Structure 1
Amino acid sequence: MEKDYEEMMEEFDDMDADIEAKKVLIEEAKQIDESQDWNAVSRTINDLKRRWKKIHYSDSVYEDQLRDEFEGIIDKFYAKRDELYDENKKLKEQLIEKAKEVSESDQWKEATETVKDLMEEWKKIGTAGRQTDDELWDRFNEARQKFYDRKHDHWKAMNDRFSEVKDIKKDLIEKAKALQDSDQWKATSDKYRDLMDEWKSAGSAGREYEDALWQSFCEARQVFYDRRNEHFEQLHARQEENYEKKKQLVQHAGLIAGTASYTRENTETMKNLSVQWKEIGSCGRDKENEIWTSFRTKMDDYFDGLRAFNDQKHEDWLERMKDTIAHKNEQIANQKRQIQRLNDDMNGLVSESDLGDMEQEIQQKEKFISQLEKEIEDIESKINEG
């Protein structure tokens, strides 16, 4: 009887130990980190299940409750796994559709990068389940392979074209060399642009030859461009020198115009500045109009002033001539009055000697009047000519 009691107590102790062990496994199951990848979670769950099975099962309501709790926790993880599988399946199906779309592309470089990117995305997506993964991978890989097969066929055809393009570009290089020594800067530049257009239109001669051909073509063109650059550098230097010379002419013209002194010397100097301007040469399109406008303004200021000065000078001379004519007419009138008085006196009682003197005086006055009238006529003639 005592032995049966001891065995029963040992059995109860074993049951308690089993229950505690199962509680520990339940707590471990609750502590599983869901943020881990599913493979790690799966290994942990399998380990817990294996350890659970090793624990003796006693047919009791409480142990059934523990089992249900443990399996419920595990089932939640499997449910989340299934959700993850479904999500991963959808993501992979999206990549498959993108791969199918890009497999039809003729933009080889961009499409190749896209296919590579899709592959990298595929690797980052977790599993959708082994069987599903295999089926999805076959579909994805089929789309990729279709693109790579088309790309291979394309480049095979391109290789046949490379030889033809190589000959075309060699001919363009020879044409570029033939133009190197030309001094027809604009016309030759246009021809080089045409050669460049032909080069671009020809397409690629293939990676093996393209770089070397391009370098030869550029070197042939560069000989001309270096000569052209040197020519225009010298031209620009001359134009800059001309610009400085013309600025000095503008300054000189401005100083003379600013004096408002319209002497013969100043006028000759201004005319000489115009002659010098023409002899200097161009400053270049960008600066020529601006500096010419400044120079023309100074010249206009001076010669407009000169015209106004001459007009005023002429007006003053004309006024003086009119005053002179008026004065001479007054002299004529005065002489005529004196002649009239002498004639009146001659009708009076005068001696014969006085009469002779008076006649002589009248003749002198008439001669003076004729002289004055001639002077007036000359003045009026000058006025009409002016």
Structure 2
Amino acid sequence: MTSTPPSPLSSAAPATSFGEVGPDGTVFLRLPDGSQREVGQWAAGDSQAGLEFFARKYADLVTEIDVAAKRLADDRSTPAQAATIVERVRKSVLEPAFVGDMAALVARIGQLEVLINVKKESLAEAKESQKKSALEAREKLVAESEKLAGSKSWKVTTERFTAIVEEWKAIPRFDRAKENELWKQISTARTTFDKARRAHYSELDAARTQAKEAKEKLVKKAQELSSSKDWQKTTVEYRKLLDQWKKAGRAGKADDKLWDRFRAAQDVFFSARNEVFAEQNEEEKKALQVKEGLLAEAEKLLPVKDLGAAKKALRSIQDRWDKAGRVPRNDVRRIEARLKKVEDEVRASESAKWKTKNPELQGRANDTVTRFREAVEKRERALQRAKDSGDAGAISKAESELDGAKAMLAVAEQASSKLN
């Protein structure tokens, strides 16, 4: 952000006081040195109306400078665009067709030129920083790629190499020769990994065939046990089968279907067992009734209106939920899912509240203050050099630039304080 000088039209001396209309309708502008300059003709009314007409032209120039400064400070225009406006207004100063405080307008132009120079320096520094950051980012990707070349985590590493390519593309380009050299290193690492991955999967084919045969036998055994009524012994047998299943290894694409058949056989047995246990276990039924009540209490918390109260109530529900004990197996997923839904909604509300804060905006404001402070320090050093040289013109210019930089720093600090 930047400051804008107070408008001359709002000062003690109105713009019309800097001109007069002659008897023949000639409009004159009083210059800072006391001389007068013809700026136009007025024959449409009384002298005051003529002065106000030419004063509005002055106000338009002031507004144009102010808007340019505001847009540049807010990063909504470039230094080149602002410089174009300065040039246009400066031409109007050289060939005036207005009535107003010429000295104030020239000072305002000078302040905008100071801001343009600050912005140019800032952009140049930012570009150099971006170039350095881009090179560091690419070198980091190269180092990671070379490390991944020997990885045995085939799926994860393949996905990571794909992501590295996308990240590489997203990095701004500055030095194509250097970037091409670094890309060759990534390509070599990726090729090394791909060769090892293909060799690995080739070796797995035989192991998958063997695993498939072993799991088909386990599925058949599980199906034979599914109708057993010997709950304890058969449960142990199923555990043994599951251990053997895990040791058999992956059977490729057939693995999921084999697992579905194996699990279906288990489910037949365990469902029958659970039905018997459910009839015998009154404590689980009571626990279920308690948790159903807790669910009803929890679901009344939605939608979340008071996050603090909802979190406190949910913690109480969770404590009582844990104390209620186990419920019948067939009900576990259903009631856990309902409670999880409430927990997820409360967490989502908390996350949404957190996201309303905007640390990024605060960081940008602080960064702007830092840049303007550096600009002030730089112009203070320039003023000291001018004083040391004894050059009155250089001293005047340096003081003007320093005043402008300080004004912009004050506004930036005020904006930053409101955000922090």
TM-score by length of 1: 0.40
Return the structure number with greater relative CO, CA threshold 8 A, min gap 6.
Answer: 2
Higher gyration radius (CA): 1
